Amino acid sequence: MHAHPRPIDRPFWSPGVLVMVSLMVAGGLALMTRYIGGLGFTTNLTDATPWGLWIAIDVASGVALAAGGFTTAALAHIFGRRAYEAVTRPALLTAALGYTFVALGVTIDVGRSWAIWKPVFFHNYNSALFEVAMCVMIYLTVLWIEMVPIVAERFGSKIRLLAWLDRTLDKFMWVFIILGVVLSCMHQSSLGTLLVIAPTKLDPLWYTPFMPLLFLLSAMSVGYPMVIVETNIATSSLKLDGEMDVLAPLSRFTILTLGIYLVVRIADLMARGQLGRIFECSSTSISFGVELFIGGILPWFLLLSSKVRRSRRGLFIVALCIVGGVLLNRINVFVVGFSPQTATHPYYPSIGEILVTLGALATIMFLYRLFITFTPVLSARSLKEVSQ
């Protein structure tokens, strides 16, 4: 049986943490230029390509890659597979941090950051973006509510309010857990609806009315691979046991979810007569090929082998491919495949955009490290304990 989650007893400051801090500073400086010179000064956005790296990575990919949160919660708490509870906490933490930065990413990307609250009062039910915004806002709240027990476990004895909150919320926690899954399904798919309104701009390799379904299915299939990747990174950099006893069986579910996604994706491409374009040899079709083969089909076949699933390195690489595939899919939809008729040159992110994105990523990792150090998130035993 698995150990109960607990804070890891490691010194917080390490070379890795220092690298994160320097990236955070660089990102912060780039962010300042956005508020001094405007979006045009810091980014390469134009009237023809109004969405760029921040929407593709910080927002769309951030939401997709935080899918570990709702997929593990569904498995362990809703479908009763308690054995997987060990990974729900780290996945929940990643989701909470991920969505926090999705919200921050949107806030810096919109031209009038100070007006970001306006959709709460001014509604447009026809807009997919409105729905995404509402769901993300509520889901973010739900995620932090779900985080309360974890923080309370550690600090509840010192902070009375926290302990009280924890007790009160406990009665309704089932509501929040289900709500979290429902909200996730809603906005994961609505992110796919965003570009349904722009058929003349998105390359038909990605444009399909089934985008909402594909976005949902790909989010579901990337959830566990993301958990595998982050658990691997965390446990190997902190010299903890790799938790393969949980991760290996977890990856079997991905055979199913990724399989369904790939079948729908390929069937849709064939039905629209686009699959042949893989041989086109343009940068778009190469990006498409990498997404589909290296990020989808190849790892799916590898997952079929139980040898791969049981090897720590093998599983890590396969999971990394799937995560990369979904990431590339979001980049392809919002950047690579987005080619308006009036765009005079393709959009490439500016240094400033890249720095802000890296800074955000570093901040997420920094906070993740902070949480696992001081609150009971990880259940993995240290290697020393394992060998005893």
For residue 299, give the nearest of 249, 225, 234 by alpha carbon. 225
For residue 226, give the nearest of 193, 250, 191, 192 by alpha carbon. 250
**Does the footprint of other proteins cover residue 348 (CB under 8 A)?**
no
For residue 3, give the nearest of 374, 312, 386 by alpha carbon. 386
- The footprint of other proteins on residues 179-198 (CB under 8 A) is 179, 181-183, 185-186, 189-190, 193-198
d(CA 332, CA 330): 5
Among 17, 21, 26, 48, binds other proteins (CB under 8 A): 48
d(CA 335, CA 43): 14
Three-state secondary-structure class, residue 338? strand
**Does the footprint of other proteins cover residue 245 (CB under 8 A)?**
no
Among 16, 119, 289, 314, binds other proteins (CB under 8 A): 119
d(CA 168, CA 262): 43
Please report how close the Cβ of residue 91 comes to other proteins at its closest, in angstroms: 16
Residue 209 CB neighbour total at 10 angstroms = 12
Task: Point out which span in 90-98, 177-185, 264-272, 324-332 binds other proteins (CB under 8 A).
Answer: 177-185
**Per-residue tokens: 385:** 């304990």
**Does the footprint of other proteins cover residue 80 (CB under 8 A)?**
yes
Cα three-residue angle 79-241-383, rounded to 5 degrees: 150
Task: Point out which span in 121-129, 264-272, 313-321, 354-362 binds other proteins (CB under 8 A).
Answer: 121-129
Judged by beta carbon, residue 113 or residue 283, the one nearer other proteins is: 113
d(CA 111, CA 91): 32
Judged by beta carbon, residue 17 or residue 169, the one nearer other proteins is: 169
d(CA 141, CA 165): 14
User: Partners of 382 in the beta sheet?
Assistant: 240
**Per-residue tokens: 275:** 């699959």
Please report how close the Cβ of residue 354 comes to other proteins at its closest, in angstroms: 18
- The footprint of other proteins on residues 137-176 (CB under 8 A) is 149, 170-171, 173-174
Please report how close the Cβ of residue 197 comes to other proteins at its closest, in angstroms: 4
Please report how close the Cβ of residue 105 comes to other proteins at its closest, in angstroms: 12
Per-residue binder mask for other proteins (CB under 8 A), 288-327, x = binder: ----------------------------------------
Contact residues for 116 (Cβ-Cβ < 8 A; gap 6+): 106, 107, 110
- The footprint of other proteins on residues 51-70 (CB under 8 A) is 51
**CB 381 within 8 Å of CB 240:** yes
- The footprint of other proteins on residues 352-381 (CB under 8 A) is none
Please report how close the Cβ of residue 75 comes to other proteins at its closest, in angstroms: 11
Contact residues for 363 (Cβ-Cβ < 8 A; gap 6+): 20, 24, 27, 101
Per-residue binder mask for other proteins (CB under 8 A), 15-44, x = binder: -------------------xxxxxxxx-x-
For residue 94, give the nearest of 247, 224, 267, 248 by alpha carbon. 224
Please report how close the Cβ of residue 48 comes to other proteins at its closest, in angstroms: 6
**Does the footprint of other proteins cover residue 7 (CB under 8 A)?**
no
Among 17, 21, 26, 78, binds other proteins (CB under 8 A): 78
What burial class does residue 47 get, using C-beta atoms within 10 Å of its C-beta: 0-12 exposed, 13-18 middle, 19+ buried?
A: exposed
Judged by beta carbon, residue 51 or residue 374, the one nearer other proteins is: 51
Q: If binding means CB under 8 A, how many residues of this protein chain bind other proteins?
A: 76
What burial class does residue 115 get, using C-beta atoms within 10 Å of its C-beta: 0-12 exposed, 13-18 middle, 19+ buried?
A: exposed
Among 62, 69, 90, 212, binds other proteins (CB under 8 A): 212
Task: Point out which span in 77-85, 96-104, 294-302, 353-361 binds other proteins (CB under 8 A).
Answer: 77-85
Judged by beta carbon, residue 201 or residue 310, the one nearer other proteins is: 201
Judged by beta carbon, residue 145 or residue 323, the one nearer other proteins is: 145
Judged by beta carbon, residue 253 or residue 293, the one nearer other proteins is: 253
Residue 370 CB neighbour total at 10 angstroms = 13
As a residue count, the chain comes to 388
- The footprint of other proteins on residues 87-116 (CB under 8 A) is 106, 109-116
